[in-house]
Chain A
Amino acid sequence: ETGVTQTPRHLVMGMTNKKSLKCEQHLGHNAMYWYKQSAKKPLELMFVYSLEERVENNSVPSRFSPECPNSSHLFLHLHTLQPEDSALYLCASSQESGPERPQHFGDGTRLSIL
């Protein structure tokens, strides 16, 4: 496996369900990110973890709960979501040293809330 891998690729869930999205990076990076991508809107940064510590939380509702157990893995735990949460959820990683630090993305989880 190379790059950034996200599972599942598609998820359909009811508003009362609990599920988790998983992200794994094989690039040796030490920062990981969750983004939300909705139609006709720019990518929205949700959470940032650097060296396994959460460093940004962009006013995301508490029904989204991130977890970063180590520098290679990132989870997004979901519970009691709303229909407006239907979107593509993208994970990214970067190396937090040097000036550039480009972010590399996975292919996302397409989430549909019934």
Chain B
Amino acid sequence: RKEVEQDPGPFNVPEGATVAFNCTYSNSASQSFFWYRQDCRKEPKLLMSVYSSGNEDGRFTAQLNRASQYISLLIRDSKLSDSATYLCVVTKNSGNTPLVFGKGTRLSVIA
């Protein structure tokens, strides 16, 4: 089983839609979880951390289910500028580092 698995997509959604991405991870000892965003030919950038209680940042909501080893990202009211690849990220072991990246889910928001 891969360390971090994501549906590669692409997800093609109209502006204003709500879209959800899921991710599963294999190491039950992982302690920290993140979503990163990567634009074409750019470096990955931190979108948000994922906390056990779930957390929200504007239109973005992240959820963690430790029992199922599952992470999700919900984007509400999609904007054209949300088009990117979203990377699910977990720590490799029980420490804070290093981080293991999923291969990403590609999102295209269409006008």
Q: Are A and B physically bound partners?
A: no
